[in-house]
């Protein structure tokens, strides 16, 4: 008798680590990845990406801000240059529902979570 697979919704920001985690979750025999919430937010939901980048440098320093840039934006650019699919395309190919949002707690975010009925978030 096999154990019940746990229903999981992954909350992430596109980058190196989201791709690694996605690969591991898809391979996991005891996990059923039922949805992914992709954050489009950088720091605050009312900041554009440029201002958020400046604030990130002010708050955490140039080294950490550069690290974040490399594992997200530079990674996305390199993925495009080498013709690798985006996180969203990979999820669509696997038939996994995706919600892109700046605020997981808004009405669409809560509705998405209710529809997916996860055991783990």
In the chain, where are the structural domains located? 6-116
77 burial level (CB within 10 Å; 0-12, 13-18, 19+) = exposed
The pTM for the full model equals 0.84
Q: What is the dihedral of CA 107, 109, 115, 118, to 10 degrees?
A: -140
Output the average pLDDT for the chain: 90
- What's the confidence (pLDDT) of residue 1? 47
Average pLDDT over residues 60-89: 93
pLDDT band, residue 2 (cuts 50/70/90):
low
């Amino acid at each position: 008798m096999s154990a019940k697979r746990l229903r999981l919704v992954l909350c992430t920001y596109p980058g190196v680590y989201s791709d690694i985690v996605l690969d591991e979750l898809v391979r996991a025999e005891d996990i059923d990845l039922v949805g992914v919430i992709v954050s489009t937010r950088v720091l605050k939901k009312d900041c554009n990406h440029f201002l958020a980048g400046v604030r990130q440098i002010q708050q955490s320093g140039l080294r950490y801000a550069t690290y974040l840039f490399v594992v997200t934006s530079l990674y996305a650019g390199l993925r495009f240059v080498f013709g690798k699919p985006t996180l969203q395309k990979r999820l669509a190919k696997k038939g996994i529902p995706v919600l892109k949002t700046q605020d997981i707690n808004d009405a669409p975010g809560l509705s998405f979570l209710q529809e997916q009925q996860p055991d783990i978030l």
